[in-house]
A = this chain, B = another copy of it.
Amino acid sequence: MSITTLFGIELPLIQAPMAGATTPAMVVAVCEAGALGSLPSATYSPEQLRAALAEVKASTRRPFNLNFFCHTPPVPDPAAQMRWRARLAPYHVEEGLDPAAPVAAAGRAPFDDTFCAVVEEFRPPVVSFHFGLPAEPLLARVRATGARVISSATTVAEGRWLEEHGVDAVIAMGYEAGGHRGSFLGLDMASQPGTMALVPQMVDALRVPVIAAGGIADPRGVAAAFALGASAVQVGSAYLHTPEASIPAVHRQALAQASDSNTAVTNLFTGRPARGLMNRLMREVGPLSAEAPAFPTAGGALAPLRAKAEAEGRADFTPLWAGQAAGLARPMPAAELTRWLMRPLGNG
C-alpha cells in the first residue's frame, strides 16, 4: 500500500514532529497543503496536549500525526546530577548565577496511560513514536483506536525490530537528521549510517514502506530519497525556518547561518544524542560527553544558563536543533514550503 493511501494524504511528505518548535498552526498548514502534519507531545502536559489537539482538529479535517517519546524514565542518580552541576558551575559563576540554586526537573514526558487516554479521546489517524515503541498493552490500545503506527529507525536492525513489532511504516532516520536520534537498540554514534546508505538497505530489508528522513530540505533531497527507494519523506529542519515555528530568537538567528558542517550530535542538552548547530557549550564540553546525566534530565541544570544567555541574545547554552541540510531551506510559510518541497525537479 502506498503511504498516501495508508495515511489518507495527497503528498508523500511528513512534517517531522519537533517538540517545542512545532505549533498546532504548523500542523494545520501542512495538513491543509496535502501532506501529513505531526504534532509533538513530549514537551506538553496532557492538558496542554488536549488544547493543542483541539486547536488542530478545529482547523483541519485532514489526517494528522500525533508523536510521542517512549523512553523509560531513568532511575534517579543524585550523584550523577551533582557531577553535572559541578561541571556547569563555572558557567553559572561566569553568568552571575548561583550554581547551588535548586534545579527544576527537566521534563520530556514519555508515553503513558494518561497520554494513551488522550489518543483514545482524540483518535489521531497516525501515531508516531520516537525511541522505539511503548510496552505492548499501551501499543495495543493505540492500535485499537484505528491509528496507523510508525516509528523511527536509525539502523536496519532497528527497522527490523520495529517491523517485527507491527508498525505500519518505518522512518529511516539518517545521521544527517536534526534533533534527537531515534536510536533505541544502542546509542553508539560512531556507526550511525547516513541517509544515502541507510534508506536503500532499509528498503531491501523490510516489507513495510520506508519513510526517508535526514538531510532532506529541498526538492533535490526529496527526489533523491525517492530514487533511493523511499515511499515518502520526513522533513524537519526546513520547517524551523517557517513563521509557524515556535523557537527562541537565538535559534532562528543561528539557523540563518546553518551550513553543511556546523552541526554535531550532542547529548549535553537532554542526555540523549541529538543533532544541533554548534554553540559554545558543545565546543567547550565536547558535543558528546559522559558527564551529561541520563535523558531527559540533563537540561535541568542548564535552564538558568540558557535563560540568562538568551535574554542577552546569546545561544551559548541553547539547544539549536538542526540537521545538516538546514541551510538549504529558505524562510517561507509552512504551506508554501510543503508545496515547494514536492515540486518536480527541473521546474525552475
Which residues on A are within 8 Å of B, measured CB to CB? Answer: 154-157, 174-176, 190-198, 200-202, 204, 214-218, 220-221, 223-225, 227-229, 259-265, 278, 287-288, 323-325, 327-328, 345
Q: How far is the CB of A4 from chain B (nearest CB, A)?
A: 19
Known: A156-B261, A190-B265, A259-B201. Contact between A221 and B228, CB under 8 A?
Answer: yes
B278, A191: Cβ atoms under 8 Å? yes
A221, A261, A278, most chain B CB atoms within 10 A: A261
A196, B223: Cβ atoms under 8 Å? no
Shortest Cβ distance from A172 into B: residue: B260
Beyond the given pairs A192-B261, A223-B224, A227-B227, 17 more chain A to chain B contacts, judged by CB atoms under 8 angstroms and listed by A's residue number, are A154-B261, A155-B261, A157-B259, A190-B264, A193-B260, A194-B196, A196-B224, A196-B325, A197-B325, A197-B328, A198-B260, A200-B218, A200-B221, A200-B325, A201-B259, A204-B328, A223-B227
A-B contact pairs, 22 of them (CB 8 A): A154-B261, A174-B196, A176-B196, A192-B261, A193-B260, A193-B324, A194-B194, A194-B195, A195-B215, A196-B214, A196-B216, A196-B221, A197-B323, A200-B218, A200-B221, A201-B328, A204-B328, A220-B229, A221-B228, A223-B224, A224-B224, A224-B227
Contacts of A194 in B (CB 8 A): 174-176, 194-196, 214-215, 324
Contacts of A261 in B (CB 8 A): 154-157, 191-193
Contacts of A287 in B (CB 8 A): 190
A155, B196: Cβ atoms under 8 Å? no
Q: How many copies does the complex hold?
A: 2
Contacts of A204 in B (CB 8 A): 328
B193, A176: Cβ atoms under 8 Å? yes
Expressed in whole angstroms, the Cα–Cα distance for A223 and B175 within the complex equals 20
A220, B214: Cβ atoms under 8 Å? no
Contacts of A264 in B (CB 8 A): 190-191
Q: How far is the CB of A83 from chain B (nearest CB, A)?
A: 22
Expressed in whole angstroms, the Cα–Cα distance for A325 and B264 within the complex equals 22
Q: How far is the CB of A256 from chain B (nearest CB, A)?
A: 15
Shortest Cβ distance from A175 into B: residue: B194
B197, A176: Cβ atoms under 8 Å? yes
Expressed in whole angstroms, the Cα–Cα distance for A154 and B278 within the complex equals 18
Contacts of A288 in B (CB 8 A): 190
Expressed in whole angstroms, the Cα–Cα distance for A278 and B155 within the complex equals 15
Expressed in whole angstroms, the Cα–Cα distance for A288 and B190 within the complex equals 9
A220, B227: Cβ atoms under 8 Å? yes
Shortest Cβ distance from A192 into B: residue: B261
Q: How far is the CB of A327 from chain B (nearest CB, A)?
A: 6
Expressed in whole angstroms, the Cα–Cα distance for A325 and B202 within the complex equals 11
A196, B193: Cβ atoms under 8 Å? no
Contacts of A192 in B (CB 8 A): 261
Expressed in whole angstroms, the Cα–Cα distance for A143 and B204 within the complex equals 44
A202, B260: Cβ atoms under 8 Å? yes
Query: Residue A260 contacts which of B156, B176, B328 (CB distance < 8 angstroms)?
Result: B156
Q: How far is the CB of A114 from chain B (nearest CB, A)?
A: 35
Known: A261-B156, A264-B190, A278-B191. Contact between A327 and B201, CB under 8 A?
Answer: yes
Q: How far is the CB of A191 from chain B (nearest CB, A)?
A: 5
